[in-house]
Chain A
């Protein structure tokens, strides 16, 4: 009897103990012993790096400014960097053994290579915008074409409207060709799978390295010369399509293969046909990834110059009809402008390049915003919508189940 009485008491106290021990003991334990740092960086490392950097700059300034007749920014940077490596090795070797020295130097080398590439990218982008800043502030740059503007005219006349319109139309036609064809082909590669799948995939992979000039040459010889279509925006968009198609197919194929197999199987188990599975499950799941692959393909296609060079022809006037007459696009206009020796034309070329770069940047950022998520991961808006429709279904089911209950209840008595 006493045991039976005690047991629940014990149980109750132990429960209380547990409830109490869980929260307060953990911080108290951590108070006694300081948390161990598991990072690999030590305080001495920062000292070594900064000291070596200071010494290297000193050596560089001394060599280039006072001791030797060296000149040139690039030489200064290279000499300073080598001096930095030397000083850093010396400092590290003072208190670390051999393998650690190699580790530090490799770390510095890898960091500097990575930053060199990033710096080059930033220089390319920023340089284009800085040089383009000469032409871009003029409003007429985006609203006029070059039909009445000569090479010697100032930047306050003439613009790239004809090239911008051309780019938009050519991209629209190329996308109209490549998006359906590319996605259908990607669906074939990842969903249908026949004996030819592997062959088609190999060919598509090989075609991603198709030199753009060869694509241009093909369209130039086939469409412009043989079919006698003439140089036109349409021929240019066909050439761009040939370039974009493999890019879109490969990216879309990868995205479709990331769709979890369980989703497909669940849909098939529910009795859906393959067609409905693809249309209602696979493609919506991969929607963001597919959009990304299309936009990235478009970003590559927008900047293609050499196929357009061979197939679009060149004109200084606005040509709205892509099917007849030469039609210029942004990259082609950049190329033609910068071939001129006149400074104002070169400034226009950089302005065009900056416009093109801005277009590519916008496309790229949009692609990343849409496609940052993997297959099946939803944006907040999407998950809200799903939750709403799921609640709706729930209400519908309960409202249908309610009348079902009554006959059962009446049946029981």
Chain B
């Protein structure tokens, strides 16, 4: 240490001195520090272990059922594990349908809310609105389920009848076994449908997607905003030219994050659909299916093999949400926000 110092400071030593290298910073941690690091590392590893245990255990227990069913697990619509005839074709389709209805409703709402909060709302109101959207994410799903099952069911009925009457030529909106011209037709074919479940799930997804989008929108650079205004843009022109292109990553990421939540939502779906074990492509018709509702309805099945089959279904759902969520977090981190990336 002292020798290098004297060498660099003396003018004579400068010529044959090697070029400046960064000083080697050796840091010897004390015993307390070492204990601290060990404990926190153990905490991190414990969390990692728990998380991997969930996936590993699902795979381990579901393997038996997957092994028995083979590839037909993905093509069978029935769910009768005792008879060896079970698969997730119906429930997986149902899950995706409910999630897409939810995303279809939630994304416009989320973009509108996020734009309103970040661009239109006056300063004082903004904080209140951010808090309200956060509160919306904290409302228990069972409360949304009650809202859907008891309040919205009646209103959705009319909408569903109207849509099936006028848009019935589109395959998803068709309803079988009903004559739109018959005024006395029973309306029960429209109840407890994929649409209702999607509406309930949309209420849970909107705040999640909206808060991601709002964060990204509000990080659109001020210079470019003012540049757009200086060129004579209206507010909407500025939003289209600056905020939306800048927030594209956040919008996609927020949507995917919402999709991940929508795929796994359970109790709101269980309370609003009547579960059927067949592919139900008509979103307005009574009867829908979802993996989470399947597990919630059938976990009481006593036989270990049935539980193993449910585990396999849960594993499929888990893998699906994991992929969606990883893509979402990658997109959000890559968008110019930097809110979630390593600073």
Contacts and interface: CB of A to CB of B under 8 A. Distances in A.
B151 interface: yes
Interface in B2-31: 29-30
Contacts of B116: 110-111, 113-114
Given A192-B41, A335-B271, A211 B47 contact: no
A225 interface: yes
B266 A212 contact: yes
B261 interface: yes
Given A114-B117, A331-B142, A349-B146, A338 B271 contact: yes
Interface residues of B, number: 100
Contacts of B120: 107, 110-111, 114
Contacts of A182: 47
B325 interface: yes
A229 interface: no
Contacts, number: 286
B206 A214 contact: no
B299 A310 contact: yes
A116 B111 CA distance: 12
A187 B40 contact: yes
B198 interface: no
B143 A356 contact: yes
B57 interface: yes
A209 interface: yes
Given A110-B119, A209-B261, A331-B140, A221 B307 contact: yes
A321 B112 CA distance: 48
Contact of B50 (A103, A107, A242): A242
A245 B50 contact: yes
Contacts of A215: 54
Q: B-side binding surface: helix, strand, loop or mixed? A: helix
B228 to A, nearest CB: 12
A210 B52 contact: no
Given A117-B210, A209-B321, A218-B58, A124 B147 contact: yes
Contacts of B75: none
B263 interface: yes
Contacts of A118: 129, 132
A360 B50 contact: no
A310 B139 contact: no
Interface in B258-282: 260-261, 263-267, 270-271
A200 interface: yes
Contacts of A124: 139, 143-144, 147, 203
Interface stretch (B78-86, B187-195, B234-242): B234-242
A5 interface: no
B290 to A, nearest CB: 10
A107 B131 CA distance: 22
A100 B235 CA distance: 9
A243 to B, nearest CB: 11
Interface stretch (B66-74, B170-178, B311-319): B311-319
A93 B135 CA distance: 39
Contact of B318 (A187, A189, A210, A249): A210
Contacts of A356: 140, 142-143
A108 B148 CA distance: 28
Given A103-B237, A275-B32, A306-B296, A206 B47 contact: no
Interface string B130-165: 011111101111111111011100010011001000
A353 B146 CA distance: 9
A213 interface: yes
Contacts of A310: 295-296, 299
A257 to B, nearest CB: 6
B318 to A, nearest CB: 5
B115 interface: yes
A203 B257 CA distance: 15
Given A99-B237, A217-B310, 18 more contacts: A99-B233, A107-B235, A113-B109, A116-B112, A117-B109, A194-B41, A197-B44, A206-B322, A209-B264, A209-B321, A213-B292, A213-B317, A218-B57, A306-B296, A338-B150, A357-B143, A364-B138, A368-B131
5 contacts: A99-B236, A128-B143, A188-B41, A306-B270, A356-B140
